[in-house]
Amino acid sequence: MKFVHIADMHFDSPFTSLGRIEGLSDIRRLEQRKIFKKIIEYIQENKIECLFISGDLYENDYVKQSTIEYINNLFKTIPNTKIFIAPGNHDPYLINSYYMKFNWNNNVYIFKYDIEKIELDDVNIYGYGFSSFYSEGININEIKIDNQKNNILIMHADLDASKEAKELYNPVATRDLLKFDYVALGHIHKPKYDNRIVYPGSPISFGFDELGAHGFISGEIKNREINIEFIPIDEREFKEINYDISAINSKEELIEKLQELKLNKNDFYKIILNGKRNFEINILEINKLIQNNNILKLKDKTKINYELDKIKNENSLRGIYVDLILEKIKELNNEEEINKYLKAIEIGLDSLENT
């Protein structure tokens, strides 16, 4: 049996990480539709027998009926493909959800909040769906598999997560999944798999915590043997660049250098500024002045260009000032708080030099 496995499509996501560039969120939502259509076309061209969707197909709080109709109309173009959906924490099987109230095409099966088994000729497919935005999990050990057939489990789950956490997303243990020939998971947006227990990742990237290629899994299972392939499909990637500003002496020069960076026009970038800074950096101000729409985010990880250990030993006002703040920093464990005090040193020393 040939199958495609996707998860975490998140249709109608607000794409909040793209807010710096006006209209980019709307463009990304259009690309979301295009990517999903390409997956359906792949299924058509390769005569795929089953499509597994492991949760978070759409955003319950944002999705429009027109989007659901778009999805279902594409499902109609693959009538010979059986489609199995296991709702997740962003698209749970709620009483007023589109899973409940919408008339889906007859090749679509939506798993509910109890483990269900669907028997095909040579495959048993088990599935579980969220019934709310959180799930304490299910007892996988209650599932009795048929060793004469291929056995596949589809669900949205947090693999090897603690069951003591405040918010639970169906925590499951790897050891309980080993009896299945293939486990189609969703929830993690980056691909992660060992051939049998698989997170395909989201087909489209949502931000800088999801670096690298995004796509879907194409696989085949026969006689309890499994072969899978990850197929990249998102034409854009979120990337990070570390940029040393130690030799740059002004805000204007920094902006010019950033504008000159040779970037892939399809990709989005976070520029991480590092090195020793020779001028005060205001990220919000610089963001407004950058005209390269591929740069979505700047992060300041630079160090102040002062030898603080030497200055604190000076018999001067600035020596006393630096020594007091460094003593305060020793009491801190939070990096953000430490950076605030280091920034205070920089501003204070600049003021003292200009008086």
Instruction: Note the pLDDT tens digit of each residue in 297-322.
Output: 999 989 877 788 888 898 889 889 98
pLDDT at 355: 57
**Considering the chain, what is the average pLDDT of its residues?**
92
Residue matched to tokens 């599932």: 143
pLDDT at 20: 66
Q: What is the mean pLDDT of residues 131-139?
A: 91
How far apart, in whole angstroms, are the C-alpha atoms of residue 294 and residue 17? 13
Q: What is the mean pLDDT of residues 94-105?
A: 96
DSSP-derived letter for residue 17 is G
- In whole angstroms, how far apart are CA 156 and each of 62, 176, 187? 20, 15, 6
Whether the Cβ atoms of residue 187 and residue 88 lie closer than 8 Å to each other: yes
Query: Amino acid identity of 126?
Result: Y
Q: Does 185 or 304 have the greater pLDDT score?
A: 185
pLDDT digits 0-9 by tens, 316-341: 898 899 899 999 998 888 888 887 88
Domains and CATH numbers, the chain: 2-232 (3.60.21.10), 238-353 (no CATH)
pLDDT at 338: 86
Q: What is the mean pLDDT of residues 92-115?
A: 95
Min mean pLDDT across 62-76, 105-119, 145-159, 271-285 is at: 271-285
Q: What is the mean pLDDT of residues 176-181?
A: 95
pLDDT band per the 50, 70, 90 thresholds, residue 111: very high
pLDDT band per the 50, 70, 90 thresholds, residue 342: confident
Q: What is the mean pLDDT of residues 51-64?
A: 97
- Please give the share of the chain, as a percent, with pLDDT higher than 70: 99
- In whole angstroms, how far apart are CA 278 and each of 248, 271, 273, 284, 341? 7, 18, 12, 18, 18
Q: What is the mean pLDDT of residues 50-61?
A: 97
**Residue 45: HSE in the Cβ half-sphere, 13 Å Cα cutoff:** 7
Q: What is the mean pLDDT of residues 113-138?
A: 93
How far apart, in whole angstroms, are the C-alpha atoms of residue 155 and residue 88? 8
Residue 204: pLDDT over 80:
yes
**Residue 350: HSE in the Cβ half-sphere, 13 Å Cα cutoff:** 12
Q: Does 159 or 22 have the greater pLDDT score?
A: 159
pLDDT at 309: 85
* 131 alpha carbon, distance to own chain's centre: 22
Residue 255: pLDDT over 80:
yes
Q: What is the mean pLDDT of residues 267-289?
A: 90
